[in-house]
Copies of this chain bind each other. A is one copy, B any other.
Amino acid sequence: MTTIKTYDITTAEGARFSPHAWRTTMALAHKGLDHECEKIGFTDIPGICDGARKIVPTVEIDEAVLSDSWAIALHLEESFSEGPSLFGGEKGKAHALFINNWASFSLNPQVIRVILLDIYNQLQDKDRDYFRASREKRFGMGLEDFVAGAAEPAKAQLKGVLLPMVKTLETQQWLGGRVPSYADYIAFGTFQWVRTVSTFDLASYGGEPVQAWLDATLDLFDGLGRKERAAS
């Protein structure tokens, strides 16, 4: 019997909000694997597992400790090959990496420009100083100044960034085709990140195909995504 434990960061209200961790949470459900989740804060990460972890998702699968959502997805696909496939073979996996990189390097950098302050406002108290200091260093200015200058230009880009997803969902129900694949969980991570920390309506930038897809994805696995508390 496999024992799986994940470490995931949450808001002050206990909502799991990491976009990368949601990729993993959905992938585990896709494989039919139960997991126990230890809810932590950003500032707890140095104290988990072997002390060498820098990010969530971090998961313990029996004796193995893994970080990085893509590495975890590859491990799940290989180690639990009897469950439904996440990638559908080598080319499906290779093409999914493009979608993974689209989400991580095209979509998420625009989204963070809109919701950075919302994330901060939802954090657990113990995480706030760390988050402010690390993000202000990364962006070279105060959180408030960053969002004030970046949010509107980012919104002007979002429709274009989402267009490949919109056009694909005009042709097929899921990014994975007739059934969801890991590609859907990649994109869902971003939408769930927004949903759990902000009232920003990201799906409206994709229009009806994306809204319908998001509703359907929130319903997967007995409403796993929808059960997570949305920000209000």
Q: What residues make up the interface of A, taking CB atoms closer than 8 Å to B?
A: 85, 87-99, 101-102, 104-106, 160-161, 163-165, 167-168, 171-172, 174-178, 181, 183
Tell which of B88, B97, B168, B178 touches A171, judged by Cβ atoms closer than 8 Å.
Answer: B97
Q: Per a CB cutoff under 8 Å, which of B89, B94, B177 touches A174?
A: B94
Chain B residue with the shortest CB-CB distance to A107: B164
Do residues B183 and A94 form an inter-chain contact, with CB atoms below 8 A?
Answer: yes
CA distance in complex: A98, B165 (Å): 6
Check A164 against B98 for contact (C-beta < 8 Å).
yes
B94 touches A175 (CB 8 A): yes
Q: Are A105 and B163 in contact (CB under 8 A)?
A: yes
Q: Are A183 and B89 in contact (CB under 8 A)?
A: no
A91 and B87 within 8 A (CB) = yes
Separation in Å of the A110 CB from the closest CB of chain B? 9
**Interface contact A106-B176, CB-CB below 8 Å:** no
List, sorted by A's number, 7 A–B pairs whose CB atoms are closer than 8 Å.
A89-B91, A89-B92, A94-B177, A94-B183, A98-B183, A99-B99, A101-B164
Chain B residues with CB under 8 A of A88: 88-92
Assess the A106–B177 pair: CB atoms within 8 A: no
